[in-house]
Structure 1
């Protein structure tokens, strides 16, 4: 029987990675959830914790052109007519390496009508004293160049209070305006004097967000971070490197069923519909590789 669940631990941290989508199913610090988890079996709700590759976010109508050829990916977001979150969230990833505190899973993307390249994609989850370090690596093992983008899709949990009461800090000077019906990009705008200005941190309240941000402020080490605090004093931080110049934030609003359970924080290599706009799309020639890294950790006031 193929093992699909992988529990790792280090100090006060534990995490579970699953073969389903290479996803982070659970992350805890001293028994406290840092992400919205999901069950051991069945489909993954709301793409929680999956790896989105070879594109993050959505493609309009699933259509794009690359090197003079047209491609049509499967439209899996029917109500908006888009191809959402890439090609690997629904695949079974294989175990490549495991220790007590780390696990690496991998999958392959094959060329077809929706994508020109053959890529080997792996994700490593490693717990250390300062949190869960994740690395996604893509290698073009095919004979044709391919467009590429990637992001993680965790829903962060600051503590026991409702989402509306969390204090959120987002280090972004601009956000991407989107169409109301399809959430497709319509250009960037400054967050200054907008409800999306969370640069100094503020209580989220009833603000609804499902937008990309950019103009990210980084520290001296080139790292940017979103920090979220619960009124109780607990919190969580997601920190990432310069390979991810875009950031999707989603307050997980649902018209029916459980809503606003966590805050989706998705550092991205490129913005929504990038295969059509060309903005920050990576071109992987045969033999080329790309790595992106991020860390999730518990914080407190």
Structure 2
């Protein structure tokens, strides 16, 4: 019997990633998870537009479909300084001695609304070890007959400035067995050179290996690379993948000034990770990516959107 004044508890979802929120419109269907607001699947008919994973699986190191907040990519040694106070984050990538991909990937997000074609989730990120700020994050996944749109709103409910960055980690698919078969086009005029820990050295104009503004086969090209100077049209840029009659496009608003592309080493079978980011690696520290760090003033807000289409 439930004690007076209390509500019966809801049993937790039986899946490793919590509740599964399916959304559909015509032939387009997606599943978003309670844990991490993770995009688990996206299909058009029988075609998978992302390399997802099963409802009974735990998300692996590949970070498939995960949301990356309050920073994408890496922070050197997990160490950064904010308002003259040194912060030390746990080293979530110990092999490189970095803090990687934020703090919200394994957290249960609250459900705000779930309809036939959209799901909205919310998370309040509170201060914790190495992270001094409060952010309220609202994320909506919406499908229509053309594909998926994801809308992000981040607000600062506190009375102090809070820095942050955002990224997302889908692996796109055009039905390939290996990404060598995929034709890739992306709109970047510059890329980030990095050291052996994949931490920033300098931003350089794209060279022969990194100039993908004209479509070309991935072939043996190996990338785990941040690109910038993204050429946009009508306020957004696009990355296009093609194999035969299949095609998949990721688009993002101009507020995403960076793009990480990863060829899925060593197997090259997870698809091509195409990650829109508001800032580059190690943006919390002085260096070539620092200027793109977002700082939200008290009661400030940031909005952006990205999406995936294909057939």
Say yes or no: does 1:151 pair with 2:160: no
- The alignment covers a number of residue pairs equal to 292
Q: TM-score under structure 2 normalisation?
A: 0.91
Q: Distance in 1 between matches of 2:159 and 2:209?
A: 47
Retained in 2: the 8 A contact 1:271–1:279? Answer: no
Q: How does 1:217-256 map to 2 (within 5 A)?
A: 217-219=231-233, 221-230=234-243, 232-254=244-266
User: What is the CA distance between 1:286 and its match in structure 2?
Assistant: 2.0
Q: Distance in 2 between matches of 1:24 and 1:284?
A: 26
Q: 1:6 aligns with which of 1, 21, 26?
A: 21
Say yes or no: does 1:275 pair with 2:294: no
User: What is the CA distance between 1:144 and its match in structure 2?
Assistant: 2.4
Say yes or no: does 1:292 pair with 2:304: yes
Say yes or no: does 1:212 pair with 2:226: yes
Larger gyration radius, structure 1 or structure 2: 2
Structure 1 residues without counterparts, runs of 5 or longer: none
Q: Distance in 2 between matches of 1:159 and 1:58?
A: 30
Retained in 2: the 8 A contact 1:55–1:149? Answer: yes
Match of 2:5 in 1: none
Retained in 1: the 8 A contact 2:28–2:146? Answer: no
Match of 2:8 in 1: none
Match of 1:137 in 2: 153
User: What is the CA distance between 1:60 and its match in structure 2?
Assistant: 0.5
Q: How does 1:110-129 map to 2 (within 5 A)?
A: 110-129=126-145
User: What is the CA distance between 1:42 and its match in structure 2?
Assistant: 4.6
Say yes or no: does 1:103 pair with 2:125: no
* Cα deviation 1:170-189 (Å, max 9, x = unaligned): 10011100112x00011011
Q: Distance in 1 between matches of 2:31 and 2:269?
A: 23
Q: TM-score under structure 1 normalisation?
A: 0.94
Q: Distance in 2 between matches of 1:43 and 1:272?
A: 26
Structure 2 residues without counterparts, runs of 5 or longer: 1-10, 14-18
Retained in 1: the 8 A contact 2:23–2:30? Answer: yes
Retained in 2: the 8 A contact 1:116–1:145? Answer: no
Match of 2:36 in 1: 21
Retained in 1: the 8 A contact 2:179–2:268? Answer: no
The runs of 4+ residues in structure 1 deviating greater than 2 Å are: none
Match of 1:264 in 2: 273
* Cα deviation 1:88-123 (Å, max 9, x = unaligned): 011111111111000011112111231111111121
- Residue aligned with 1:279, SS: helix
Match of 1:67 in 2: 83
Q: Distance in 2 between matches of 1:59 and 1:215?
A: 22
- Residue aligned with 1:177, SS: strand
